[in-house]
Structure 1
Amino acid sequence: MGKIQVLSEQIANRIAAGEVVERPASIVKELVENSLDAKASAITVSILDGGIREIRVTDNGEGIAEEDMPLTILKHATSKIYKLQDLDRIYSMGFRGEALASIAAVSMLSIKSRVRESEAGTELCAKGGKIEHIRQAGLPEGTSVIVENLFYNTPARLKFLKKPGSEAAAISDIVSRLILARPDISLRYTANGKSIYHSPGSGELLDAICAVNGQQMRSQLIPVDYQINQIHVSGYIGAPDFTYKTQKNGSLFINQRYIRSDVIQTAILRAYGERLLRGSFPFYTLHLNMDLSDVDVNVHPNKLTVHFSDENAVEYAVINAVSDALAKQHSPIVSQFQSSERNVSYEQLKMAEELPKPEEVPNLEFDSNFPVQEKPSSEEDWRMPSDSELEEGIEEILRLTAEQQNKGPFEINAPSEISVAAPPKDFSLALEHADQKHTENQPDGWFFYFASSGVLRRYTSVARQ
């Protein structure tokens, strides 16, 4: 007799359940996401003993029709995708048709639901993945799922669960992410009868953040709102002096789905740069909205890992979004510069990154006739350069920069003054490369920003014909 045998359905179901049902928190996540897919506007989550004894999720969503109830705990039965192409543009939170089947396989499960059009609801009870009964019942519109005695039939899995307090903390964490994912949903969470979270469902992300972290957060956060091509980044980040010792206080969402991404997390830290002390990490709650076809959520059953079609573009979008928000807080002038450069291509951003770093630029021999301000002997001797001196200096910088970039000869346009809320009083000069598209045939050029005596001027260069 051969050694290879086909596993029984019961064993296969329990093995498969391990991919979806890792612990009580993963059950809460799956059930709340089902409620969101059912277009619920109010969801209640309650647990007993860390969710090991009981998990109850109730919503006011569309409900489950009586004829669909037997299919709810069958593997790969779903109402969310119908054809292979649907996997390329997944709009729902769930789509595998595995959650309820996996939960039912390792618990005592009860599903109570009524659709709006029906006068009576339907109740299903299952134990270890087998349906015990389905019957009609008087129920309110919506769905209530009760999971009891988790892992009662898999002692090895039960043994490796943590203490109820630790499991409850994990549930609190995932519920907080779900609140931040959907600030438009009223979500109430209780543990052992004690209220933990209550998000009002106002639709304002800041209200959701405060529902999770407390009202004191309002004075610590910086808004983020940045659009670059097809990627929109929005949310809130913490001020540079408002930090934590761990990275657990950051939340990322792609198209309202909570995810984890080392790429985005690293991009955020790069944007903060030296503003953060070593060993400190910022608070952030960021939503990225992009075309569904540009992100693949069908990577792992837990749906926390995603793949991007253009990872570099996402990274640049996040870096610029966070940098822009930080600049707006500390320098309204810099933010004005950046706001005019939002709709640029990834190629332009990459080109800017490839410009030579200061330490890579060779020493340049300046013309001895070039006017240079001598080092002042005292503060009284120091003076701001005149406009003519400034223009001569900028022209020389322009010439040298063009040589480094193998560009043709350039000339500088007359400066235009820029009105800002609070221009700097100290001397400052910024040089940026950009695509000039203000006139039809204007080629690549350079922006120069010069601020002095409370006046900000912008210089632009064009190629000499």
Structure 2
Amino acid sequence: MGKIQKLPESLIHLIAAGEVIERPASVLKELVENSLDAGATQIAIDIWGAGRSRIRVSDNGVGMSKEDARLALERHATSKLRSFEDLQTLASFGFRGEALPSIAAVSHLELTTREPQAKQGLRLKVAGGKIISTTAVGVPPGTTLDVQDLFFNTPARAKFMKRDATERSHILRTVQELALAHPRVSFEISVDGKAAMHLTQAADLRTRIRDLWDVSITDTLVPLEFSQGPASVHGFINKIPAHQPTKSYQHLFVNDRPVHQRVLTHAIYEAYHEWLPVGRHPVFMLFLKVDPSVVDVNVHPAKREVRFANDLMLYDLLFHHIRKDLQAGQDVPVMKHKAPSPRAGEGWDGGYQQPLMPPPASVLPHPEGGRSVSVVADAPPAIKKLDATVRILGQYRKVYVLAEQGDDLLLIDQHAAAERVLYEKLLDQSRTEGAKRQPLLTPYVWDLPPDRLEIVRDAQPALEKLGFVLDAFGGNSLVLKECPAVFPQLKQAKRFLDVFIESLEAESYDPQENAAHEAVARAACRAAIKANDALAGPEMQHLLKELAACQRPMTCPHGRPTHIRLPLSELHHRFRRS
């Protein structure tokens, strides 16, 4: 027998499923897109166990006949393609005939359907891709797909699933995208038996956006609409001052299909770059319509990536039209800097500083009666105790603190040092009961999209250990009532919160495991004193005192040195003094 053998059909199905079905949100996307292709105007979604246990999608679409229902479970059986020419003018969401068979191959699936003209419906039960029963049932017109025990026969894939909160967040993000693309379709979503989202049929995109997001976001949006050559664009972008700390409010669609398209996203960022501070992100919900013949949606089975015949032309169109609209409505001065390429997790950088309750003495700069700090840079020795031999010389380029001890010159990176101090204080608080908190004079209302709210709720116990007190405030909002005493300003606390949650979201850290050290480290980096922050003498004195008290003062949490020492003998050697 030869070494090369044909794979069995069951294994082929499992391999195909690995490409199409990455996580529960992938299943939901495929099922809802099938409903939309069937002309549904009402879609009900029920999720149990973050989609691992069960995903059920019901619609009022055209339903299927007995023959079509059986064929829908076979690979490469589709109603949307007949020839190669059809692929060039494709307008439907599904077309490969792979999604439903792939889902059926890795789950226990139940398909119930009825055409409007049929007297009875049909129910098919499938396990591991094989139909095990067919039953006539009395059901309303439409289709219900019930997917249970996802990845029951592919344990390796199941192991790569993230925490329940992360998977639920991806599911809610997927629903948002589909709901934005189809405002005239109603969506009813429940999670573990509790209503999670109710979206009635909306007259237009603006109404749907208002249904999904808080007024603090929707009132800062302006419409964008243009048509030129083979392309047209409509949707909304943010007013210049209304940039956000995260990318949560960014949605891009090509022919109503939610996509990730780097070229177009880069065009949007470049259009904003003169008004976009470092670490901030634009808000956009944009729909690009192009002739299907100039866009390739067949790049990947998941259909999240698309390619254009002339992406540079589309880049220029989007860039110039957005920039023109922003300049026409400009009501704030142009920033002095150019924003770098977008980078996730830069944090809140609001232009105001709301005072908290007066910080306790322990977090205010306070010189110790002329005493100063001894800093040693050569590992392994730790920073010495405070004594009277170190003298602050000043701040260099608003980046480094200069000091002297005896015959040695000390250079301290103010950001790295502050980052180490903040990181250790927060972790110490998370390990002990009764974290030092301070109440806000005016509680801060934190508006979040549904997918991000899921992550925050899951992280609330960890946040409370760190000193953040958050309560529900209705809809998709939380209210921040107290924050850790280590933050002298609300701006810093908000920046930390945002980056901490974004770190959990992006990396799927477990927020209950030692308060997710890496997430705390990233957030401390964003919330700490920055380069270009001017420091007064007492502030520099206090920073060095706090650094001296750290357990690991030699480096920041990411491994950069906090300070270096230059002995006088080394300086003499450099200058060739005897």
Instruction: Give a deviation string over 1:153-194, Cα, whole Å, max 9, x none.
Output: 111111211122211111011111111111121112221122
Contact 1:222 1:329 in 2 (8 A): no
Q: Which amino acid aligns with 2:288?
A: L
Partner of 2:423: none
Cα distance in structure 2, aligned partners of 1:208 and 1:289: 19
Q: Secondary structure at the match of 2:196?
A: strand
Letter matched to residue 68 of structure 2: D
Alignment partner, residue 222 of structure 1: 222
Q: Which residue of 1 aligns with 2:119?
A: 119
1:210/1:216 contact within 8 Å kept: no
Q: Provide the C-alpha distance between the structure 2 equivalents of 1:120 and 1:320, rounded to a whole number of angstroms.
A: 56
Corresponding residue of 1:147: 147
State the partner residue of 2:326: 326
Distance 1:299 1:145, change over 3 A: same
Query: 1-side partners of 2:329 and 2:190: how far apart?
Result: 37
Q: CA deviation at 1:320?
A: 2.4
Q: Distance in 1 between matches of 2:190 and 2:325?
A: 35
Instruction: Give the structure 1 partner of residue 267 of structure 2.
Output: 267
Matches within 5 A, 1:81-120: 81-120=81-120
Paired with 2:304 and 2:158, the residues of 1 have a C-alpha distance of 23
Q: Which residue of 2 aligns with 1:345?
A: none
CA distance in 1, matches of 2:309, 2:238: 29
Task: Name the CA distance, whole Å, in 2 between partners of 1:50 and 1:68.
Answer: 30
- Post-superposition shift, 1:243? 2.0
1:124-159 deviations in Å (ceiling 9; x for gaps) = 100000001112100101100000000111111112
What corresponds to 2:45 in structure 1? 45
Query: 1:280 maps to what in 2?
Result: 280
1:96-127 deviation line (CA, Å, top 9, x unaligned): 00011000000000011111110111111000
Determine if the alignment matches structure 1 residue 206 to structure 2 residue 196: no
In structure 2, how many angstroms separate the alpha carbons of the residues matched to 1:215 and 1:192?
28
Deviations 1:440-461 (CA, angstroms, capped at 9, x unpaired): xxxxxxxxxxxxxxxxxxxxxx
Q: Which has the higher contact order (CA 8 A, sep 6+)?
A: 2
- How far is the alpha carbon of 1:290 from its aligned partner? 1.5
Which amino acid is 2:78 matched to? T
Aligned equivalents of 2:93, 2:271: Cα separation in 1:
30
Residue matched to 2:514 = none
Listed one character per residue, the Cα deviations across residues 409-438 of structure 1 (whole Å, up to 9, x for unaligned) are xxxxxxxxxxxxxxxxxxxxxxxxxxxxxx
Number of residues of Structure 1 aligned to a counterpart in Structure 2:
331
SS of corresponding position for 2:241: coil
Q: Conserved in 2, the CA contact under 8 Å of 1:255 and 1:287?
A: yes
Pair 77,145 (structure 1): closer, same or farther in 2 beyond 3 Å: same
Q: Deviations over 1:356-388 (max 9, x none)?
A: xxxxxxxxxxxxxxxxxxxxxxxxxxxxxxxxx
What SS class does the counterpart of residue 271 from structure 1 fall into?
helix
Matching residue of 2:79: 79
User: Matched residues in 2 for 1:144 and 1:98: separation?
Assistant: 18
Q: What amino acid maps onto 2:158 in structure 1?
A: L
| Counterparts of 2:4 and 2:231, CA distance in 1 | 50
TM-score (norm 2): 0.56
Question: Is 1:25 the counterpart of 2:25 in the alignment?
Answer: yes
Distance 1:170 1:202 in 2: 23
Larger CA deviation: 282-291 vs 202-211:
202-211
CA distance in 2, matches of 1:19, 1:154: 13
Distance between the aligned counterparts of 1:60 and 1:308, measured in 2?
A: 34
Return the alpha-carbon distance in structure 1 between the equivalents of residues 52 and 325 of structure 2: 43
Counterpart CA distance in 1 for 2:160 and 2:274 is 42
Deviation at 1:244, TM superposition (A): 2.4
Q: Report the Cα distance in structure 2 between the residues aligned to 1:195 and 1:242, rounded to whole angstroms.
A: 31
Once residues 94 and 249 of structure 1 are traced to their aligned partners in structure 2, the CA distance between those partners, rounded to angstroms, is 26
Q: CA deviation at 1:70?
A: 1.2
4+ runs deviating over 4 angstroms: none
Report the residue type matching 1:122 in the other structure: L
Deviation at 1:230, TM superposition (A): 2.4
1:232, distance to aligned residue in structure 2 (A): 1.0
1:67 shift after superposition? 2.1
| Separation in 2, partners of 1:112, 1:40 | 15
Aligned to 2:362: none
Contact 1:23 1:161 survives alignment (8 Å): yes
Structure 2 CA distance, aligned partners of 1:269 and 1:127? 47
SS, match of residue 81 in structure 1? coil
What percentage of aligned pairs have identical amino acids? 40
Gaps of 5+ in 2: 332-578
In 2, distance between residues paired with 1:69 and 1:217?
43
Aligned partners of 1:233 and 1:317 also within 8 Å: no
Tell me the distance in 2 between the aligned counterparts of 1:298 and 1:107: 25
Residue 186 of structure 2: aligned partner: 186
Superposed CA deviations along residues 341-366 of structure 1, whole A, max 9, x for unmatched, are xxxxxxxxxxxxxxxxxxxxxxxxxx
Matched residue of 1:10: which SS? helix
How do residues 34-433 of structure 1 correspond to structure 2 at under 5 angstroms?
34-330=34-330
2 CA distance for matches of 1:310 and 1:184?
31
Question: 1:198 Cα deviation (Å)?
Answer: 2.3
Shift in Å at residue 329 of structure 1?
2.5
2: distance between equivalents of 1:323 and 1:196?
Answer: 37
Write the letter of the residue equivalent to 2:189.
Y
Question: 1:327 Cα shift?
Answer: 3.1
CA-CA distance at 1:93 after TM superposition: 0.4
SS of 1:241's equivalent in the other structure is helix
Matched-pair contact (CA < 8 Å) for 2:240–2:330: no
* AA partner of residue 175 (structure 2): V
| 1:199 to partner: Cα distance | 2.3
Q: Give the distance between the partners of 2:14 and 2:301, measured in 1 at CA.
A: 15
Deviation at 1:206, TM superposition (A): 1.2
User: 2:13 is paired with a residue of what secondary structure?
Assistant: helix
Q: TM-score, normalised by structure 1?
A: 0.69
| 1:42 to 1:324, Cα distance in 2 relative to 1, 3 A | farther
- Per-residue CA deviation, residues 48-94 of structure 1 (Å, 9 max, x unaligned), is 01100000001100101122121111000111111111111111000
Q: Deviations over 1:266-292 (max 9, x none)?
A: 100111121110121111000011111
Name the SS of the counterpart of 1:73 in structure 2. Answer: coil
CA displacement at 1:207 relative to structure 2: 1.7
CA distance in 1, matches of 2:198, 2:323: 32
Secondary structure in 2 matching 1:125: strand
Distance 1:117 1:209 in 2: 36
Shift in Å at residue 226 of structure 1? 1.3
Q: CA RMSD in A?
A: 1.3
Equivalent-residue separation in structure 1 for 2:282 and 2:4 (angstroms):
53
* Matched position secondary structure for 2:94: coil
Runs (5+) with no aligned partner, structure 1: 332-465
